[in-house]
Structure 1
């Protein structure tokens, strides 16, 4: 169970009530200020995943970093971020989600300042690794807090805003990064893309007391073996996803997938045994096997993979063949962000009317947007109609807004409040891994196809791949439970 820190535990009938058994009268709720505070930290973590991309050339000129070092500036953040999410969620369950969120936000703000002050490329890479680890501490607490203190329509609205923050953060990162570098704020050049986090993070820290303080009723035990095996699995998979394209997919890199498979099988066995003996596994098999969690994650993976592939390949096409700079390229994504934000305001009502079929509707709309893009690119290359491209991107955003928040709610609905941090960590880890995998697969396919086919054929075939991802979500959606 979950309780407010410093508040007496619930009575026995409430303590044994399952999270799906109806509204819990003890839920403290989440004020507008508190929601803004937790979403601010989440937004910073999303923005910083992409804001540095447009500043890499300036970083290279200033710090004399080679291609490998610059790659680590980008991928190092994502590596430690994805690696630490599940552990960050468990820390929140054990020590209090507001406390761990505040520590993660403080660390993120500090490491952002260190990135901005970096005197060498090695210092910057190290600071980025630490920044990703700090993000992994704070991000799981956002969904876990929403799950623990809200219910019904309030939860639907909060998760909708969470999804909108993710979509806006990805677009704002590209636009803001290009704007800051071009303006050369205070003459500090690329350093401003990190320095901007400091006042925003500090302001959120000052208001963090407005966030309800929740934690698990009984502190979970530590699972060193499970943590080690999970870490090995994640590192091996991330190494293939992040470094495969740059290294040319050597045989030894593929061998890491075999190591990951062995570690994953051992992890499953260890976690089942620990839970069977009354222990506290890092990843609870009984929670992960629940229908909402299992089917929701099965849909989340192709949804996120398609999203990652779309953004990455769009950047390659927009900047490589349409001559758009980073700022203009990000600007073309505004219809996606605007559509996503507007639609999330209405998704609670749509979900109440359609139930689990909201994901089906979202997949259909996304397919429509992708098919429109394929037709516009295929028939209008090399100068496709910008208006129709914007319509296709907007439809893709509408479909994503209908699908993403609903999947979040379905996945977390089966997670007991006491394990909300763990469930949130698993969800975000799956989302991040699938997004990175989609970007890698989509980008590699596009580059490979454009080498022996025409550019337009390569682009259309990648869009066809995205349609396959979306159709997979559509098929899975037919057996999804209603979001709660």
Structure 2
């Protein structure tokens, strides 16, 4: 995402941090909206997708793009946003991103067509990429010791709370249908919150910059965006269009695009520039393991949240509110582990993530049993136990993942490592909606139906969770105090 941690490890940064005023409660809360709002916007949309499709006459592929286009823009520009903040000022970039995010939320809310909505989602994702990196960068630059650790934990809690509560809030807003807004309320809710955060940021956020700003790798960002589009566009549009020739050409072209991206990153690093994805950081054993865990978790989690809304509001005939309430136990489990996770991380290290994979596997296996035996006669109560267990497990994986991995990375490369991990997070959330969503929709259209499709997705996540346990053990054994 940014070199924020790297920028505060040298002597000059130490002097700068010592002289800086610590963030007060209001300033820290304002900053944390930069973590909460983008993640909320990613997940709150899922429960509204059926209503959007009906109102704007959008097909399943276009609805997948409503999720994926936001994630692609966000993932592509996270590192760019971080480095622009280092050079031009983190408060300035935070305000630019927050203002753009708020304006695009309003445009999404009034979008008359699916095309306008998709375009606004792309710009909204780009604005979030300008805003979010400044949160960790400002925390790292302004706080130290226990205050910094607590603020970092709150950053994780903000993201976890947004992911867990997003679809519940979306269901409540759609069901309430205030002023007959329907699905548009899930975007409009960002506007007053964004305006309050903008006003507060102007008044209370201090400005910081890196001692030495890195050059922005715009070519790398463009190549990453091209690679993601070549991969995700055919995966989302191929099934509803009957897999025309252009989808296979795009998928084939994504392979050389990855190769060109990798070559550019190697050459950029050898020439002394700052590449988007530094190859030297990828060579670190802890980073490779952490990336594998991040890809497995965020792809499956993002995909599941996408398909769950379709399943509950489809054959199960739940309302958006009932579909959202079905996720309440998952949110409760997620929030509990978000709050206590940092304390447990000190005790168990990467062993906490290992336990999370196994608990998550149990939760999704129970969900598959419910889908296979009771479908479509399910309701929030019958789904409560599987969702609660899955929520506990997911929280134990997601909350400590980045911190545990970075604790095993040399401090000078921690900022770059955090950027790579957070970029992979956003990329894989979008990838999950494309891949898992396409697989679900294909199975749901067969004799298996939506219940069989949901059970298949749940069992696939169960298998991946079990496979990730020994991988996590490798991270555990390579770290200290895990």
Same fold (TM over 0.5): yes
Q: Is the 8 A contact 2:443 2:453 kept in 1?
A: yes
User: Is 1:478 the equivalent of 2:453?
Assistant: no
Structure 2: any 5+ residue segments left out of the alignment? none
CA positional deviation for 1:336? 1.0
> Structure 1 residue aligned with 2:460, among 448, 462, 465?
465
Deviation larger for 454-463 or 332-341: 454-463
Deviation at 1:166, TM superposition (A): 3.1
CA distance in 1, matches of 2:382, 2:149: 32
1:26/1:127 Cα in 2 relative to 1: closer, same or farther (>3 Å)?
Answer: same
Pick from 399, 403, 411 the counterpart of residue 409 of structure 1: 403
Q: TM-score, length-normalised on structure 1? A: 0.84
The aligned counterpart of 1:137 is 130
Q: Do 2:67 and 2:430's aligned partners in 1 also have CA atoms closer than 8 Å?
A: no
* 2:435 corresponds to 1:441: yes
- Paired residues in the alignment total 472
Structure 1 portions without partners, runs of 5+: 16-23
Aligned to 1:217: 211
Evaluate the alpha carbon distance shift between residue 27 and residue 331 of structure 1 in structure 2; reply closer, same or farther with a 3 A threshold: farther
Change (3 A) 1:417 1:33: farther
Checking the alignment, whether the CA contact within 8 Å between 1:41 and 1:105 is kept in structure 2 is: yes
Listed one character per residue, the Cα deviations across residues 243-273 of structure 1 (whole Å, up to 9, x for unaligned) are 3333333343233233222222222222222
1:173 partnered with 2:170 = no
Shift in Å, 1:190 = 4.6
| Alpha-carbon distance in 2 for matches of 1:223, 1:325 | 46
In the alignment, the residues of structure 1 paired with residue 132 and residue 420 of structure 2 have an alpha-carbon distance, to the nearest angstrom, of 12
C-alpha distance 442-25 of structure 1, shift in aligned 2 (>3 A): same
Return the alpha-carbon distance in structure 2 between the equivalents of residues 183 and 384 of structure 1: 22
Matching residue of 2:287 = 293
Decide whether aligned partners of structure 1 residues 147 and 400 sit closer, same or farther in structure 2, where only a CA change above 3 A counts.
farther
Structure 1: how far apart are the matches of 2:448 and 2:113? 41
Residue 317 (str. 1) matches residue 314 (str. 2): no
Cα separation, 2, equivalents of 1:187 and 1:446: 31
Between the aligned partners of 2:27 and 2:20, the Cα distance in structure 1 is 14
**Matched residues in 1 for 2:382 and 2:197: separation?**
39
Deviation at 1:387, TM superposition (A): 4.5
Query: Contact between 2:12 and 2:211, CA under 8 Å: does it hold in 1?
Result: no
* 1:429 matched residue in structure 2: 423
Partner of 2:73: 80
Q: Distance in 2 between matches of 1:13 and 1:138?
A: 22
| 1:26-68 CA-partner distances (Å, limit 9, x unpaired) | 7865543333212213322223234445556766787x65547
Q: CA deviation at 1:299?
A: 0.7
> How far has the Cα of 1:478 moved from its partner?
0.5
Residues 1:254 and 2:248 are matched in the alignment: yes
Give 2:335's aligned residue.
Answer: 341
Q: Does 1:196 align with 2:200?
A: no
The CA RMSD measured in Å over matched residues stands at: 3.5
Q: Is the 8 A contact 1:359 1:407 kept in 2?
A: yes
Contact 1:304 1:431 in 2 (8 A): yes
Query: Which stretch has the larger CA shift, 336-345 or 385-394?
Result: 385-394
Could you tell me how far apart the structure 2 residues matched to 1:395 and 1:147 are? 34
Structure-1 separation of matches of 2:434 and 2:273: 37
Query: Which residue, 393, 396, 402 being the options, matches 2:387?
Result: 393
TM score, norm. by length of structure 2: 0.84
Work out the CA distance in 2 between the residues paired with 1:384 and 1:113. 35
